Structure 1
Amino acid sequence: MAHYRASDSKREQFRRYLEKSGVLDAITSVLVTLYEETDKPDNALDFIKIQLGAAVPDPADIEALHLELADLQQKFNLLMEENKELRNKLMQYETSPDHEAAE
């Protein structure tokens, strides 16, 4: 009988731990969302993983995102360089003697 009570105590501690850390709320929320879905997904486990943010993305999607990131980084660097050049030109015009004489 003592083993039974120890087991209940551990279960209760674990339940409190899950409740305190927000796990129970997160799981309940995901299950409610699944319940309220009008068109139930074919794979409920994948739905739950996606809702919890634990779904593993497709390797092809990851590669496409890496390529897009590299392309955008290159464009960003070019635009930053262009911005720097235009600022330098602007500074030249603002401080040029011709500009001051015209005022």
Structure 2
Amino acid sequence: MAHQRAPDSRREKFRRYLEKAGVVESLVSVLLSLYEQSEKPEDPLEYVKQHIGAVGKASAESEALQQEVMDLKQRCAHLMEENKDLRTKLQRYENATEDRGKAK
């Protein structure tokens, strides 16, 4: 009986190792993606091979894109504020120019 327990223990350690490394999550994600395909590929193994590496890349790429979006939103807000300030200055300048024209 102790003989059977050792392989189970090794399997459990290996399973935890795969979970910790994100392998299980990646496999599940790719298999779900395959399941959701309306037209199933002729070679599902090839599909898995092509998409297994894309899972981690997509996550890293997604984080980079999210950071870029946040940076661009901040830049946009800054430029909108600068635009507002410049419009206010331009309006004051135009009003001052009109006032000078009327005074002549």
Identical-pair percentage: 56
Normalized per residue, the structure richer in helix is 2
Aligned partners of 1:16 and 1:53: how far apart in 2?
A: 20
Q: Which residue of 2 aligns with 1:36?
A: 36
TM-score (norm 1): 0.51
- Hey, what's the Cα distance between the residues in 1 that align with 2:52 and 2:4? 34
Q: State the Cα RMSD in Å.
A: 1.3
Unaligned runs of 5+ in 2: 55-104
CA deviations over 1:40-91 (Å, ceiling 9, x no partner): 000000000000139xxxxxxxxxxxxxxxxxxxxxxxxxxxxxxxxxxxxx
Residues of 2 paired with 1:53 and 1:6: CA distance?
33
- Name segments (4+ residues, structure 1) moved above 6 Å: none
Supply the distance in 2 between the matched residues of 1:21 and 1:53 (Cα, whole angstroms): 14
Deviation at 1:3, TM superposition (A): 1.2
Which runs of 5 or more residues in structure 1 are unaligned?
55-103
- The residue type equivalent to 2:29 in the other structure is S
| Aligned-partner Cα distance in 2 for 1:29–1:14 | 20
**Displacement of 1:29 after TM fit?**
0.2
Distance, in Å, in 1 between the alignment partners of 2:52 and 2:27 is: 8
**TM-score for the superposition, normalised by structure 2:** 0.50
With a CA cutoff of 8 Å and minimum separation of 6, indicate the structure with the bigger relative contact order: 2
